[in-house]
Amino acid sequence: MDRLIYTALNSLHNRRDSNVTLAQNLANMNVPGYRADLDNPGGTRFLDAMDQANVRAFQLEEGPAGFSEDSGFLDKTDNILDVAIADKGYFFMKPDNGGPPALTRRGDLTRGNDGILRNGAGEEMLNAQMQPINLPPFRQIVINEIGEIIIEPVDGAPGEQLNVAVLATVVPPEGTLQKGADGHIRNKNGTMPAPDQQAKVMQGTLERSNVNAIDELLSTIDNQRSFEFGMKMISETEKIDEAGTSLMQAPME
């Protein structure tokens, strides 16, 4: 009987982890360029006891959970500092907490008082040399398809144009990336791919998150029903166990 209870408890544990993932996605559904986390289905493992396989089965996670690389909705904003990647690929950035560089799809850029180009999360955008981009004051700015930043400087002659930097981009091979413990995207071994400028950059466009709110809410409802079913199973198991115990009791004289 205890095996049934352990199975139900393991199911409740998995539902809890799934609810955490769904809540994370819903909390970030309005974050530009956010990539939805996926469940880690893992695999079935049997408990070993006295060098023999036990019939208790558990579903355990196998490695870090993945994330969805589907593109989000491309919203045309006409803001000259909004950029998006048309299809596959990522920008390079340095987290605002001083951590190592990582990849991002977030493109709501601003020029800080120090001239550094950052996205809406305060992360410094990097060039092909993995250095922060220092953007001089400008009258006009064009960011072309390969990420080159061309400006008309405020103190320049009329019509003068300067190529001041390149937004580093990369299109990594599929299945080579994962989110680290800090929530940022890097190679599975923790390293960074080299920039290749193969991503197509769009100016005046912002990519929204790829979280599908309807799917996430439906999954949340389904998870809640599964959790309630697991609790009911444990309750019924307790009743069955009590009934079995009463049958084995010695008859009362």
Residue with tokens 């049997």: 46
Burial class (CB in 10 A: 0-12, 13-18, 19+), 5: middle
Q: Is residue 23 part of a domain?
A: yes
85 plus 180 within the same structural domain: yes
8 plus 86 within the same structural domain: no
180 plus 220 within the same structural domain: no
Question: Terminal CA-to-CA distance of the chain, rounded, Å?
Answer: 29
161 plus 83 within the same structural domain: yes
179 plus 227 within the same structural domain: no
Q: Which domain covers residue 219, as residue numbers?
A: 2-67+211-248
200 plus 137 within the same structural domain: yes
Please give the model's pTM, rounded to 2 decimal places.
0.78
Per-residue pLDDT of the chain (253 residues; tens, 9 = 90+): 556 666 666 666 677 778 788 889 999 999 999 999 987 765 555 555 555 555 555 556 556 678 999 999 999 999 999 999 999 999 999 998 888 999 999 999 999 999 999 999 999 999 999 999 999 999 999 999 999 999 999 988 888 899 999 999 999 998 899 998 888 999 999 899 999 999 999 999 999 999 999 988 888 888 778 777 777 776 767 676 666 666 666 666 5
39 plus 109 within the same structural domain: no
